[in-house]
Amino acid sequence: MSAASEKAAPCPICGRPSEPAVAPFCSARCADIDLGRWLSDRYVIPTDDEEESEPPQKRSE
């Protein structure tokens, strides 16, 4: 039986064994990295292309 090593899932950030205190991460640093990614994902600014949908085309006539 080897349930001890299979109990904890690896850290999604670095792949190390996760620590219960900061599960599912292995350390507070990895948890912080994941949080940063999550925040940066939320802060994605939708590109406003409406203003540039019609580029100023100079008539060459």
Question: Is 1 or 13 the residue whose CB approaches Zn ion more closely?
Answer: 13
Cβ nearer to Zn ion, comparing 7 with 16: 16
Q: Check binding of 31 to Zn ion (CB under 5 A).
A: no
Q: Do the Cβ atoms of 32 and 13 come closer than 8 Å? A: no
Place of tokens 């039986």: 1
Q: Which residue's entry shows tokens 């205190």? A: 21
34 annotated as a binding-site residue: no
> Given the complex with Zn ion, which of 8 and 49 has the nearer CB atom?
8
For residue 10, CA distances in Å to 25, 27, 34, 41 come to 7, 11, 14, 23
Instruction: Examine residue 14 and tell whether it contacts Zn ion (CB under 5 A).
Output: yes
In the annotated binding site for Zn(2+), the residues are: 11, 14, 26, 30
